[in-house]
């Protein structure tokens, strides 16, 4: 019995593997601005903070004034392998290091998309250049001066194909990086670069003096990062914990807590038990088995339960190269055969939101007038008849450790059979799934993507990206190609958002993906925790403080 | 001790076989480390994949890679992990003491409890309560280790312990099923011994109950001691769940991750060390066997 259980438990900790981090473009007219979470204070139960679909501004917290001192203990589900954004694609690495230790030139509001200064105090955009003015006399945590050379070095590494950084293609329009003096950086552009400022808001600047001539994966600074942020790196024990301490010389508003201890606890149940024992201040995610218990437990009075939706969606990708799947009518029929509401109920206890296209709901790129295809087996059967499909046999490839993918597969098998579509379930490990996706050796597969405020979908849907990119389903649509090319060339926000919405409609019609849903996360905060701010991947602790 | 010498002579051959099989198996799996590292990262390019494969020699044929690995590991250099670039030797050195401590503690608990318990249950087998206890042990054996571990944690056991005392609850959870298994084994062995001709003879010669017990138990210990050699490595690898629940940083979890990420150097390092531990345990069991049974001294079991 033991090997199987071991496997099941150990595997249960990779829920978001396959997740993709990407950056976002700016749009200052952010759709979510001003919306706040609905706070319910209830006697004998935790305070419930229900965030809107478009984010959680966290303005529920009015316990101030902030108090300095103390150690904040934060639960982290998965441990990053390397603490360097350019080579570590895991979102947890960014969550720990970005914002807290290393910093970006610009800051993007994770929900409205608004771009504001950070290490760059100001910037000017022209048609063929972006000029950034760095804050004067900044210092790295080790005392070395921060300068434009560090910025040029970091951008250089990000653009190097051999590094394989997430942001690489965002810098394609850049022809040269100039540093006329220690505090000025000029990016020369060959064409419009609508996603450039957003890329800069997610590119952590690295210290050239510690990285020059070194492999990014093996450099000491990738294990003990040196940055300019409000916290300094203190120590990292693998499989155990990572400690940061307040930077007393921070250039901006200094942090309140003395230390942050990130504890790596893979098993959600274990983390929950430790939270109940008071050994953790921030429980990243309440296990689904405790949703009801947590909502109504008098022992949690004064705690806060934050219900929010990370910008990530779960979907099925269809291999558009294979047989009947090449026909959009067939893909649409298959979508209508998947009971997405029932799936949300089974897999997420109903804690999920519908999504119909590859943009973040609530942003101007997302066309809210598009409604999900209904679950309608009769209509699906009719569509299949129209397409001349009597019976069909498919294999559903999924990552065996993902319980939700398995539940989806089981559900599809049941419902598809009634419409004459046989589906075999193929459970594989993540390495195999990736390998087969990249080689298009599959019929259907389930994955999850993380969205930027405005997503550039070029890499996912452009026909050129079927070879070597992430167009795993080989969906080749000339109309989509034209839109995706145009989006990359359109600097005007409103015009580009209109194109985004067109692409959304096209994707909805053709269904290269079946969009399943966005899963809600329930985060628990001890009563003493205040001042968490949302970041791209969760929270930032730069303003956090602890009451007595 | 020519037996010992012969045993030791086999070690390199076993290591060679085990690592060769592991290497071939990992290479037969689809997907490679470069791909896992790149994940579905947007920036992953043919260049970045190639750069990583070249950096770690993944672009060569597997026999060539194995030969290179063999040459290095003969000098105790197991290379660097493909996932975080740290030396495999350092990673194992961090995790092995925890794993060994946990497994040895669990083995000590299991044998320490199981041998007297099993013997007592065998000796008192005619009593109804002893039979009922034996039957109840089956129930305990069926408890999933994950559930037991979570219950122990919930009861307040320390998480992320770094001392032997702190590890006791984890070792207990790990040892539970093992204890029951061994106790039932010991009970059966004693019952067999008590039914054997030599015990009947001893009784007929007028040996008292205490004398009979010692006489029978000595023989009944043999099969249990044999198990020591195979149970220790089993405990080492069964620890994945317990390590995770109690926040212990051992090689169980490390090996699991190494497979999932196709981290070949790390996996081979762990396999080699694991094989060494297994061989040492089997050797120790042989020696203990000799102590219990004088007939076997100096013979290769």
pLDDT tens readout for residues A9-19: 222 323 332 33
Q: How confident is the model at residue A52 (pLDDT cuts 50, 70, 90)?
A: low
Higher pLDDT pick, B115 / B293: B115
Rounded to an integer, what is the distance from CA B248 to the centroid of its chain? Answer: 16
State whether B91 and A238 contact (CB < 8 Å): yes
Determine the pLDDT at residue A24.
30
pLDDT for residue A29 is more than 70: no
Mean pLDDT over B252-274 rounds to 86
Write the residue in A2, A21, A273 that is nearest to B238 by C-beta. A2
State whether B48 and A164 contact (CB < 8 Å): yes
pLDDT for residue A5 is more than 50: no
State whether B153 and A267 contact (CB < 8 Å): no
> How far does the CA of residue A4 sit from the closest CA of chain B (Å)?
10
State whether A161 and B45 contact (CB < 8 Å): yes
Residue whose entry in the numeric block shows the structure tokens 């090319």: A485
CA distances from residue A151 to A119, A156, A198, A206 in whole angstroms, order as listed: 10, 8, 15, 7
> How far does the CA of residue A9 sit from the closest CA of chain B (Å)?
7
Write the residue in B35, B51, B85 that is nearest to A435 by C-beta. B35
> How far does the CA of residue B44 sit from the closest CA of chain A (Å)?
4
A436 neighbors A442 (Cβ within 8 angstroms):
yes
Give the C-alpha separation, B198 to B215, whole Å.
Answer: 9
State whether B84 and A270 contact (CB < 8 Å): no
CATH code for residues A4-224+521-546: 3.90.76.10
Shortest CA distance to B149 belongs to which of B139, B159, B134?
B159
Determine the pLDDT at residue A511.
97
pLDDT tens-digit series, residues B103-143: 999 999 998 999 899 888 888 888 888 888 888 888 888 88
- Identify the closest residue of chain A to B142 by CA–CA distance: A1
Higher pLDDT pick, A79 / A490: A490
Shortest CA distance to B144 belongs to which of A348, A313, A9, A335?
A9
Q: How many residues belong to chain B?
A: 301
pLDDT for residue A197 is more than 90: yes
Shortest CA distance to A104 belongs to which of A146, A70, A42, A51?
A146
In CATH terms, A312-519 corresponds, of 3.30.420.40, 3.90.1170.50, 1.20.120.720, 3.10.105.10, to: 3.10.105.10
CA distances from residue B108 to A272, B167, B182, B244 in whole angstroms, order as listed: 31, 13, 12, 21
> Could you give the 3-state DSSP secondary structure of residue A225?
coil
**Residue A98 DSSP code:** B
Shortest CA distance to A391 belongs to which of A349, A429, A425, A420?
A420
Question: pTM for this structure?
Answer: 0.82
Write the residue in B29, B46, B240 that is nearest to A10 by C-beta. B240
Q: Which residues of B touch A161 (CB under 8 A)?
A: 45-48
Helix axes B264-292, B251-260, angle to 10 degrees: 140
Determine the pLDDT at residue A20.
31
pLDDT tens-digit series, residues A279-325: 999 998 898 889 888 988 999 988 988 888 888 899 999 999 999 99
Structural tokens at position A365:
């790129």
Rounded to an integer, what is the distance from CA A91 to the centroid of its chain? Answer: 7
Higher pLDDT pick, B1 / A361: A361
**φ, ψ at A128 (rounded to 5°):** -120, 15
pLDDT tens-digit series, residues A59-77: 556 667 889 999 999 999 8
Burial B273-290 (b: 16+ CB within 10 A, else e): bbbebbbebbbebbbbbb
State whether B41 and A166 contact (CB < 8 Å): yes
Rg, chain A, Cα only: 24
Write the residue in A161, A239, A470 that is nearest to B249 by C-beta. A239
Shortest CA distance to A237 belongs to which of B165, B90, B273, B241?
B90
Shortest CA distance to A78 belongs to which of A25, A15, A156, A151?
A15
pLDDT tens-digit series, residues B47-80: 777 777 777 777 788 788 888 888 888 888 888 8
Alpha helices for B75-163 (secondary structure H):
88-123, 128-141, 145-154
Mean pLDDT over A470-488 rounds to 95
Structural tokens at position A166:
């997430």
Q: How confident is the model at residue B232 (pLDDT cuts 50, 70, 90)?
A: confident
Q: How confident is the model at residue B39 (pLDDT cuts 50, 70, 90)?
A: low
State whether B43 and A168 contact (CB < 8 Å): yes
- Selected residue of B34, B43, B259 to mutate for chain A interface (largest A Cβ count, 10 A): B43
Rounded to an integer, what is the distance from CA A393 to the centroid of its chain? Answer: 33
Write the residue in B31, B42, B159 that is nearest to A166 by C-beta. B42
> Could you give the 3-state DSSP secondary structure of residue A262?
strand
> How far does the CA of residue A270 sit from the closest CA of chain B (Å)?
6
State whether B244 and A164 contact (CB < 8 Å): no
Element containing residue B35 per DSSP (H, E): helix B33-38
Write the residue in A82, A277, A438 that is nearest to B84 by C-beta. A82
Determine the pLDDT at residue A139.
96
Q: Which of A407-411, B52-56, B211-215 has the lowest mean pLDDT?
A: B52-56
> How far does the CA of residue A5 sit from the closest CA of chain B (Å)?
7
Q: How confident is the model at residue A537 (pLDDT cuts 50, 70, 90)?
A: low
Element containing residue B229 per DSSP (H, E): helix B209-238
Determine the pLDDT at residue B70.
87
Alpha helices for A173-238 (secondary structure H):
196-200, 208-211
Give the C-alpha separation, A273 to B151, whole Å.
Answer: 10
Average pLDDT over chain A, rounded to an integer: 86
State whether A168 and B55 contact (CB < 8 Å): no
Give the C-alpha separation, A318 to A512, whole Å.
Answer: 6
State whether B38 and A164 contact (CB < 8 Å): yes
B260 neighbors A433 (Cβ within 8 angstroms):
no
Q: Which residues of A touch B94 (CB under 8 A)?
A: 238
User: Hey, where are the domains in chain A?
Assistant: 4-224+521-546, 312-519
A500 neighbors A519 (Cβ within 8 angstroms):
no
Give the C-alpha separation, A453 to A30, whole Å.
Answer: 9
Give the C-alpha separation, B1 to B299, whole Å.
Answer: 9
Structural tokens at position B254:
């490390």
Number of other CB atoms surrounding residue B264 within 10 Å: 27
């Amino acid at each position: 019995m033991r090997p199987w259980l071991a496997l099941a438990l150990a595997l249960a900790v990779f829920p978001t593997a396959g997740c993709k981090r990407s950056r976002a473009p700016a749009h200052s007219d952010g759709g979510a601005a001003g919306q706040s979470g609905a706070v319910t204070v209830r006697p004998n139960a935790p305070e419930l903070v229900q965030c809107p679909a478009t984010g959680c501004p966290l303005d529920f917290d009015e316990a101030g004034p902030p108090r300095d001192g103390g150690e904040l203990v934060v639960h982290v589900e998965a441990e990053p392998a390397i603490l360097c954004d350019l080579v570590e694609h895991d979102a947890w690495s960014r969550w720990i290091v970005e914002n807290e230790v290393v910093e970006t030139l610009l800051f993007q509001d994770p929900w409205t998309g608004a771009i504001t200064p950070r290490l760059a105090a100001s910037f000017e955009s022209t048609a063929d250049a972006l000029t950034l003015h760095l804050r004067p006399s900044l210092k790295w945590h080790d005392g070395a001066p921060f300068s434009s050379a560090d910025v040029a070095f970091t951008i250089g590494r990000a653009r190097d194909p051999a590094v394989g950084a997430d942001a690489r293609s965002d810098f394609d329009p850049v022809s040269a990086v100039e540093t006329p003096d220690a505090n000025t950086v000029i990016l020369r552009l060959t064409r419009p670069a609508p996603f450039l400022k957003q890329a800069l808001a997610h590119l952590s600047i690295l210290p050239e003096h510690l990285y020059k001539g070194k492999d990014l994966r093996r450099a000491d600074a990738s294990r003990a990062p040196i940055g300019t942020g409000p916290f300094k790196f203190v120590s990292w024990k693998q499989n155990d914990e990572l400690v940061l301490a307040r930077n007393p010389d921070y250039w901006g508003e200094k942090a309140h807590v003395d230390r942050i201890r990130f504890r790596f606890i893979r098993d959600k149940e274990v983390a929950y038990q430790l939270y109940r024992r008071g050994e953790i201040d921030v429980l990243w995610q309440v296990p689904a088995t405790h949703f009801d218990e947590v909502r109504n437990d008098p022992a949690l009075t004064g705690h806060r339960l934050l219900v929010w939706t990370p910008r990530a969606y779960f979907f099925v990708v269809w291999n558009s190269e294979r047989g009947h799947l090449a026909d959009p009518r067939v893909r649409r029929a298959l979508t209508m055969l998947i009971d997405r509401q029932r799936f949300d109920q089974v897999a997420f206890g109903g804690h999920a939101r519908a999504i119909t296209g590859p943009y973040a709901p609530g942003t101007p790129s997302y066309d809210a007038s598009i409604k999900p295809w209904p679950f309608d087996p009769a209509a699906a059967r009719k569509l299949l008849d129209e397409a001349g499909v009597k019976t069909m046999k498919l294999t559903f490839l999924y990552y065996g450790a993902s319980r939700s993918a398995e539940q989806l597969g089981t559900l599809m098998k049941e419902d598809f059979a009634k419409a004459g579509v046989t589906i075999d379930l193929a459970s594989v490990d993540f390495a195999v799934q990736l390998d087969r996706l990249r080689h298009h050796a599959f019929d259907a597969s389930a994955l999850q993507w993380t969205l930027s405020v405005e997503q550039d979908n070029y890499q996912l849907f452009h026909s050129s990206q079927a070879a070597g990119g992430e167009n795993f389903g080989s969906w080749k649509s000339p109309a989509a190609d034209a839109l995706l090319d145009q989006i990359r060339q359109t600097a005007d926000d409103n015009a580009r958002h209109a194109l985004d919405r067109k692409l959304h409609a096209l994707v909805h019609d053709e269904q290269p993906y079946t969009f399943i849903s966005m899963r809600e996360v329930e985060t628990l905060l001890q009563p003493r925790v205040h001042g968490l701010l949302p970041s791209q991947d969760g929270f930032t602790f730069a303003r956090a403080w602890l009451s007595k | 001790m020519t037996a010992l010498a012969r045993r030791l002579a086999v070690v390199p051959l076993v290591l060679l076989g085990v690592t060769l099989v592991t290497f071939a198996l990992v290479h037969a799996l689809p997907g490679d480390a470069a791909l896992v590292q790149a994940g579905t990262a947007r920036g992953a390019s043919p260049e970045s994949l190639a750069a990583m494969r070249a950096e770690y020699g993944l672009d060569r044929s597997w026999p060539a890679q194995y030969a290179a690995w063999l040459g290095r590991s003969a000098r105790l250099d197991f290379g660097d992990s493909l996932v975080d670039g740290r030396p495999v030797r350092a990673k194992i050195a961090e995790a092995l003491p925890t794993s060994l401590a946990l497994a040895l503690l669990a083995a000590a608990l299991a044998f320490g409890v199981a041998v007297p318990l099993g013997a007592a249950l065998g000796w008192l087998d005619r009593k109804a309560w002893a039979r009922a206890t034996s039957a109840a042990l089956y129930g305990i054996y069926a408890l999933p280790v994950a559930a037991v571990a979570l219950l122990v944690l919930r009861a307040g056991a320390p998480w992320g312990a770094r001392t032997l005392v702190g590890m006791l609850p984890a070792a207990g959870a790990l040892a539970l099923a093992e204890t029951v298994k061994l106790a039932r084994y010991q009970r059966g062995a004693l019952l067999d011994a008590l039914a054997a001709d030599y015990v009947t003879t001893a009784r007929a010669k007028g040996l008292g109950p205490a004398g009979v017990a010692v006489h029978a138990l000595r023989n009944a210990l043999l099969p249990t001691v044999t198990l020591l050699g195979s149970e220790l490595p089993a405990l080492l690898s069964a620890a994945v769940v317990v390590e995770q629940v109690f926040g212990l940083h051992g090689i169980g979890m490390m090996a699991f991750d190494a497979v999932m990420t196709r981290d070949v150097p790390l996996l081979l390092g762990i396999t080699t060390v694991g094989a060494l531990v297994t061989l040492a345990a089997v050797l120790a069991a042989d020696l203990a066997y000799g102590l219990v049974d004088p007939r076997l001294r100096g013979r290769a079991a």
